[in-house]
Amino acid sequence: MTDSTQRTTAIILAAGLGTRMKSRLPKALHRLGNQPMINHLITTAREVFDDIVVVTGPDMPALEEAVHPYRTVTQVERLGTAHAASTARELFGTGDVAILYADNPLITAETMKRLLAARQEGASLALLGMRPSEPGRYGRIVEEQGRVTKIVEFKDATEEERRIPLCNAGVMCAGAEDFRNWLANVHNDNAQGEYYLTDVVEMAAQNGAVICVEAAEAELAGVNSRAELAQAEATLQNRLRDAAMDAGVTLVAPETVFFSTDTLLEADVTIEPNVFFGPGVTVRTGALIRAFSHLEGCEVGEGAMIGPYARLRPGTLCGAHSHVGNFVELKNVELGEGAKANHLTYLGDASVGAATNVGAGTITCNYDGVFKHRTTIGERAFIGSDSILVAPVTIGDDALIAAGSVITQDVPAGDLAFGRAQQTLKTGRGIQIKQSLKARKEQG
């Protein structure tokens, strides 16, 4: 960071429609790690730069909302990257300015710092480059004696220039006043009739050294299609998995676990294969998340065991050493310390006390078609299998609910509740019905 008179600024170009994405959604809002890709870039940029400005296109209120509270400017006409950057020139400030792209979401803070350092060490302009395995249609960086002389867009490049392996990632950094002057002199006499930001490189080379800072292809590759979005997701997931394991988390089959960028896992957590973490999940130390579980907006306490095949929905808090078993779904539930719901159960809008056992097939009926209602179960209670708890209802501490009960009224602490229909026996009637059915089957 710099002093208040020389604040650094990141300008993020995000006005692209993403035609190749074949989507009504602005390209910058397509998601990686369960958040818009532009938010990845903003999160990283704010580690490095003092100010952030986002250039949006017209009629993109959702994008403006996603980047709030950062300032935005609108590129009314999409006339190229230099035109987009020029739209924000009044917000460049007085220090160094970096031009970033929303569709390059995986640039690391370390690389941004190297770019800024190259500029502050004397380069008139610093830019990012890469050596992709398939250079394809990337612009080529032309160098002489280690200094960049120009960038040639693929459509305007000669055959010799297209053989250059060093490719432009689009990101560049220079002093604010220099950038303003260069942008004012960019013209659109090229194959596309657009104002290319890359044209400032030749201008900068006339004023001083232009330095290329190289980074890995996976970090700098752009996202312009669904296939490239999937590749970026794979890169991000590998980063998140490595970070989790470095922090002391055991991933039994790392390649099968899907994280959100805000997933928080403490040391000594174990994750079995094929687990999905949606946004807003925290898992405390020593917890075990078993295979094929889905977690979102929840917290799992120390030493708890979740799954296999469990679903934890938003608002759920599983206390320390609690158990949530196979085919159990919890939504907006507080499951107390040591409480168990081990089989085939749905609990919604409920509080379950410590050491309570919820039997297989239990359901809290929390929705009446209009309103949600809460079920409160005390500590050390036992809820028999196939019980239906019709909310709002309260089950006291140490209460016992008989299997197969439908509970519509509160159960005081320590009481036993039956809510079954009366059983009736018809002597010999069972065999008569079976014989009748067999006869009908034989008759077709």
Binding residues for Mg(2+): 103, 224
Of 248, 279, 235, 285, the closest CA to residue 261 belongs to 279
User: Phi and psi dihedrals of 347, rounded to 5?
Assistant: -120, 120
* H or E element that contains 129: strand 125-130
Is residue 343 among the annotated active site residues?
Answer: yes
153, 155, 158, 160: CA torsion to nearest 10? 70
Which one from 30, 83, 343, 373 is the annotated catalytic residue? 343
Which residues fall in the annotated binding site for acetyl-CoA? 360, 366-367, 385, 403, 420
Cα–Cα distance measured from residue 73 to residue 213, given in angstroms and rounded to the nearest whole number:
28
Which residues fall in the annotated binding site for UDP-N-acetyl-alpha-D-glucosamine? 13-16, 27, 75, 80-81, 139, 153, 168, 224, 313, 331, 346, 357
Q: How far is CA 123 from CA 140, 209, 299, in A?
A: 20, 5, 48
| Residues 295/312, Cβ–Cβ less than 8 Å | yes
Q: Give the pair of three-digit tokens for residue 428.
A: 């010999």
**Which residue's entry shows tokens 């009629």?**
59
- Pairing mode, if any, of strands 167-175 and 96-101? antiparallel
Cα–Cα distance measured from residue 389 to residue 411, given in angstroms and rounded to the nearest whole number:
11
Cα–Cα distance measured from residue 148 to residue 383, given in angstroms and rounded to the nearest whole number:
73
Cα–Cα distance measured from residue 389 to residue 212, given in angstroms and rounded to the nearest whole number:
66
10 Å Cβ neighbour count for 90? 10
**Which residue's entry shows tokens 């040391």?**
267
Which residues fall in the annotated binding site? 13-16, 27, 75, 80-81, 103, 139, 153, 168, 224, 313, 331, 346, 357, 360, 366-367, 385, 403, 420
Cα–Cα distance measured from residue 188 to residue 56, given in angstroms and rounded to the nearest whole number:
21
Q: What are the E-state strand segments in 145-192? A: 147-152, 167-175
Count Cα atoms within 13 angstroms, Cβ side, for 433: 5
- Catalytic residue annotation: 343
